[in-house]
Structure 1
Amino acid sequence: MAKEDKKPLHAGAVEIDEALKVYYPETDERVLKKLNVWQSLKFGLLMHWAPSSQWGIVESWSLCSEDEEWCKRNIEDYCEYKRLYENLITTFNPVEFNPEKWADAALAAGMKYFIFTTKHHDGFCMYDSNYTDYKITGERCPFRHNPNANITKALFDSFRHRNFMIGAYFSKPDWHSDYYWWRRFATPDRNVNYDIRKYPERWNKFVEFTHNQIMELMTDYGSIDILWLDGCWVRSYTEEELEAERKKANFNIYRIQNQDIKMPLLAKKAREKQPGLIIVDRAVPGPYQNYLTPENQIPENTLPYPWETCMPITPSWSYEPGLKYKSSREIIHLLIDIVSKGGNLLLNIAPTPEGDWEPEAYERLKDIGKWMKINGEAIYDSEPVFPYKQNQLSYTRNKSNFYAFYRIKEDENLLPKEINITIPEIKDEPVITVQGNDAILQCKRDGEKIIIIIPEELRKVKKDQYTFTMKIRT
């Protein structure tokens, strides 16, 4: 992933308009069962972390010779820059790493699933891969002596112990591998830097290398629920698709070619090890994109298939010191907006090079957790209900009740005397209570509109009151 930018599509980000065009429904009953569970969870944690956090830069992308403002290098000599970047392994020693602390904080915040970057595009493995020494347990990495040196395993074990669904982020391109970026040639962009048709044996070695690394994760790291693949340009293309990609590419294109990673075989092998595995081959339309992942975007309406908005808590996916954090109010309102349209929110928090989160991250999760304790029943295992969102109102429902969230603005000190909701499914006179104090609200009907009277004693907005949430029983 790349740093947040005004442009909607970069680094494989999925545009909503593109995502709406095609979805291939899953047919495996075990996958469908797990997908249904995942859809009920609503709120997950993503973490981008690598040795590059020591420089406080966007992970991986400064290695790529695409001229973008958000991944500029501070050294003119590219070869020297790459040498220094890859040498960060020798000083990466996150001794403050405490997986239990993160898992406890995420659990208290109401998060229910966890996805971790086991390997990003730069090729650095945050797990003990047998197929590279460019890894957290490698001979050159001082952290290899730590009891939790296999960071991925320690995290997966800690989060799984707290009943989180577990997902492995894995980058299909590998810019450290000589089978992908061959040292014989320059590396002008994100793509493989040699002609696969001319050197098929080398590409086949890369495919084998990729499969082997993923199978390690599927074999040695306990129960895995989600394989979350990034790097959508590594995929099989038809000639027509290749031509279309070349025309719309928004980077300095060198060579877009058929980078067939043999996904059918990979999926088959992975699901033999992990039955029911959800596979998310991001931004690659086809049967191995079990849910869609609009990046930093929320659709205007519901989508007719499983989806998740992935979004960082700061403007960057990676740790960069001094960045502004989204407020607790903003995150909660984002969560409501997404859930009311049938999606999940995957919130990214990037650890520091020392191995902890900044205090702001813990503060946000604590605030969200307090809100979730009161309002979680309107979030988890909920479904969207028309009209989904109206001005400051958002709606959800579960098997028993409807819910209306009145999203309180930051400068709003007094709730309105009346709140008008419109849920056509509600035909009878409803009983409306307030989440957090069970006050029964008076209401009256005006056609399909329900006019809810807010009593004076409830109108004053309390400190850190992010919503006025109403339970509607019919």
Structure 2
Amino acid sequence: MRKLRLKWIALFLIIFQINQISAQKKYEANWNSIDSRPVPTWFEDAKFGIFIHWGLFSVPAWGPTAKDGVGVYDRYAEWYWKGISDPNRASFKAFTKFHDKAFGKDYKYQDFAKGFTCEMFSPDEWAKVFEESGAKYVVLTSKHHEGYTLWPSAQSWNWNAVDLNPHRDLAGDLMKSVREKGLRMGYYYSLYEWFNPLYHNNVKQYVDDHMIPQMKDLVTRYKPDVLWTDGEWDHPSETWKSTEFLSWLYNDSPAKNDIVVNDRWGKETRAKHGGIYTTEYDLVHDQNSTGMEINHPWEECRGIGSSFGYNRNENLEDYSSSKELIDILVDKVARGGNLLLNIGPTADGRIPVIMQQRLKDIGRWLKVNGEAIYGTRKWTKAPKVGKNTKIFFTAKGKDLYLISTEWKDEPIAIEGISKSSKVSLLGFNGLIKTGIKSGKFLITPPVLSPLTNPSQYAWVYKIENVL
């Protein structure tokens, strides 16, 4: 009798599991359905990621800078091939002048494949740098607009890192090392390719025979946590067959449960469709996004310098300081976003030392103050953030975090809290004086010495059980 009962229980569990699987939502190939998929919670908890722009553009490693008087988008060293080929670009003269001087007028971009040697690339060392930075996810350029892939893509035969230099699956090697550190990893992927003849002659065939199979191979082969598309602006999402691909990604792909995508799926989709919304050097469609309220999971991407790809033309003044980068991280997180901070490795496979130093400083700060960053959400009662804001707030559970990017000697008043609460300064062992005055909660900063100061850049007060 007992055996019969166990068989019935087992049968019930099997039927229940089948029903659960069949009950899982199927996403249809239209934006209403695709947009209904929630962004996986791991992304909003992670807050800080590392972007990596690496490819043949890392060989010339050159772009104009602010001193050349060109706009933000014209300083990108990863646009080198387009820069020396398109007379309509504002930076065309700067790129061609450098190229002709450094390599010669007859030197073709394809010849840079010889210099993409990566002999000093150690994925384990890179992963260690990322781990120590405090980042929780990594996004590598699997293919930029030049079409050269960092994995052995059949659709990019003889134009990838395995068939040509460095004869290595860079995308796969880094994925393995990053995941061994417990970090999530995904890939940037450019929908269009500047000089692919098929793309220019028959975009439909390009999408059907090249782009879609290539993206499916990337997802199936590596099961990434992020698919970060770009280069969508030439055509609407219908031409790119974006909803068809995304319905496969969400329903049938091996990455369907955890994968995060962005909003770059057609010239009409940014900040409207897809997954997370993306800003770039604080720009959304050329509009400054500083202080903007974005009521959707979102992410700011930017370089440590003014380029994504490594730019040998940049000097110290072109790089953000550690303080500036931490302030940027705080600003984005307080407004409900993530920061995807880019590094541009060299053609031989090194992370430039100045970039390593910036990442180390961010990691040191997060070791003390990460509690106010990871897993938090924006405080709905926080004052509006502006260009000159120095006090930011994040929330987690019943606790509120006040982050001051400038040390305050005077008491800090918080509106919206009218009851007493325990307050601590993260990384500091002393007591913090508090009080209520005129219906506002007051925090009196402690007197610090070089030995007791927990941070060089921004200070976090934890206010317990007030939410």
TM-score normalised per structure 1: 0.77
Gaps of 5+ in 1: 1-22, 183-199, 238-258, 409-414
Question: Among 50, 59, 63, which residue is 1:54 paired with?
Answer: 59
Alignment of 1:299-314 (within 5 A): 299-314=290-305
How many pairs are equivalent?
Answer: 394
Give the match for residue 162 of structure 2.
137
Give the match for residue 348 of structure 2.
354
Alignment of 1:37-436 (within 5 A): 37-57=42-62, 58-60=77-79, 61-62=82-83, 65=86, 66-69=88-91, 72-74=95-97, 75=99, 84-132=108-156, 133-138=158-163, 141-144=164-167, 149-182=168-201, 203-221=204-222, 223-236=223-236, 260-271=239-250, 272-273=252-253, 274-276=255-257, 277-282=259-264, 284-285=268-269, 288-297=273-282, 298-321=289-312, 322-324=314-316, 325-385=319-379, 386-387=382-383, 389=385, 391-408=389-406, 415-424=407-416, 426-436=417-427
Cα 1:281–1:403, aligned 2, differ >3 Å: closer, same or farther? closer
The Cα shift of 1:405 comes to 1.0
- Kept in 1, the 8 Å contact 2:291–2:384? The answer is no
Alignment of 1:453-468 (within 5 A): 453-457=444-448, 465-468=456-459
Give the secondary structure class of the aligned counterpart of 2:196: coil
How far apart, CA to CA, are the structure 2 residues paired with 1:456 and 1:288? 49
- Kept in 1, the 8 Å contact 2:427–2:454? The answer is no
**Which structure dedicates a bigger proportion of its chain to helix?**
2
- Kept in 1, the 8 Å contact 2:138–2:185? The answer is yes
Equivalent residue letter for 1:292: Y
| Percent of aligned pairs sharing the same letter | 25
The Cα shift of 1:203 comes to 3.2
The Cα shift of 1:459 comes to 9.6
The Cα shift of 1:260 comes to 0.6
- Kept in 2, the 8 Å contact 1:422–1:448? The answer is no
Equivalent residue letter for 1:285: T
How far apart, CA to CA, are the structure 1 residues paired with 2:165 and 2:149? 15
Give the secondary structure class of the aligned counterpart of 1:158: helix
- For residues 129-186 of structure 1, give each alpha carbon's deviation from its aligned partner in whole angstroms, at most 9, with x where no partner exists: 0122111112xx2311xxxx1101111111122222222111011124210245xxxx
Give the match for residue 470 of structure 1.
461
- Kept in 2, the 8 Å contact 1:63–1:82? The answer is no
- Kept in 1, the 8 Å contact 2:35–2:274? The answer is no
How far apart, CA to CA, are the structure 2 residues paired with 1:434 and 1:205? 56
- Kept in 1, the 8 Å contact 2:301–2:340? The answer is yes
How far apart, CA to CA, are the structure 1 residues paired with 2:333 and 2:351? 26
- For residues 373-408 of structure 1, give each alpha carbon's deviation from its aligned partner in whole angstroms, at most 9, with x where no partner exists: 110000001011112648311111101311111112
How far apart, CA to CA, are the structure 1 residues paired with 2:34 and 2:383? 28
Question: Among 407, 421, 428, which residue is 1:437 paired with?
Answer: 428
Give the secondary structure class of the aligned counterpart of 1:137: coil
- For residues 91-145 of structure 1, give each alpha carbon's deviation from its aligned partner in whole angstroms, at most 9, with x where no partner exists: 321100011111111111110011111111111111110122111112xx2311x
Give the secondary structure class of the aligned counterpart of 2:428: coil
Superposed CA RMSD: 2.7
Cα 1:63–1:153, aligned 2, differ >3 Å: closer, same or farther? farther
How far apart, CA to CA, are the structure 2 residues paired with 1:206 and 1:24? 22
- For residues 292-331 of structure 1, give each alpha carbon's deviation from its aligned partner in whole angstroms, at most 9, with x where no partner exists: 1111115414311111000101111110124332111111
Equivalent residue letter for 1:218: V
- For residues 321-352 of structure 1, give each alpha carbon's deviation from its aligned partner in whole angstroms, at most 9, with x where no partner exists: 24332111111111001100000000000001
How far apart, CA to CA, are the structure 2 residues paired with 1:374 and 1:358? 25
- Kept in 2, the 8 Å contact 1:420–1:449? The answer is no
The Cα shift of 1:462 comes to 5.1
